[in-house]
Amino acid sequence: GAVVSQHPSRVICKSGTSVKIECRSLDFQATTMFWYRQFPKQSLMLMATSNEGSKATYEQGVEKDKFLINHASLTLSTLTVTSAHPEDSSFYICSAPKRDRGTDTQYFGPGTRLTVL
């Protein structure tokens, strides 16, 4: 397997503030990482692909100015939710692909539960 960590695991903030979430691959390097959002009792929705050393690629309908992604190194990607509002409250999950037997398998972090008051 592989280990991906996220920090913080839970955050509560006031409306209008910005929140930064970190995603780290602990035992492997990842040139790409993925950020997902999951609302209660729903599936995971891909928000963006984080690329080390270059700009992130956002999925249709995801505001890149609101969800800032920085892939600073081969083991760290950060997602910053800027000017958060209550509708941004969700479970944010990152993943990183690790090569195994000729192809990649995505391993997921434990998630960050964001509550915006």
Partner 1 sequence: AQKVTQAQTEISVVEKEDVTLDCVYETRDTTYYLFWYKQPPSGELVFLIRRNSFDEQNEISGRYSWNFQKSTSSFNFTITASQVVDSAVYFCALRGGATNKLIFGTGTLLAVQP
Among 7, 13, 44, 62, binds partner 1 (CB under 8 A): 44
Tell me the helix, strand and coil percentages in the chain, rounded to 5.
5, 55, 40
Within 10 angstroms of residue 16's Cβ, the number of other Cβ atoms is: 10
Tell me the closest approach of the beta carbon of residue 16 to partner 1, in angstroms.
26
Binding segment for partner 1 (CB under 8 A), chosen from 14-22, 43-51, 68-76, 79-87, is: 43-51
Place of tokens 């081969």: 74
Place of tokens 């539960």: 113
* 105 lies in the site for partner 1, by CB under 8 A: yes
* CA nearest to 30, candidates 91, 106, 89, 102: 106
* 75 lies in the site for partner 1, by CB under 8 A: no
Tell me the closest approach of the beta carbon of residue 68 to partner 1, in angstroms.
20
- Can you give the binding site for partner 1, defined by CB under 8 A? 1, 32, 34, 41-44, 46, 49, 91, 93, 95, 97, 103-111, 113
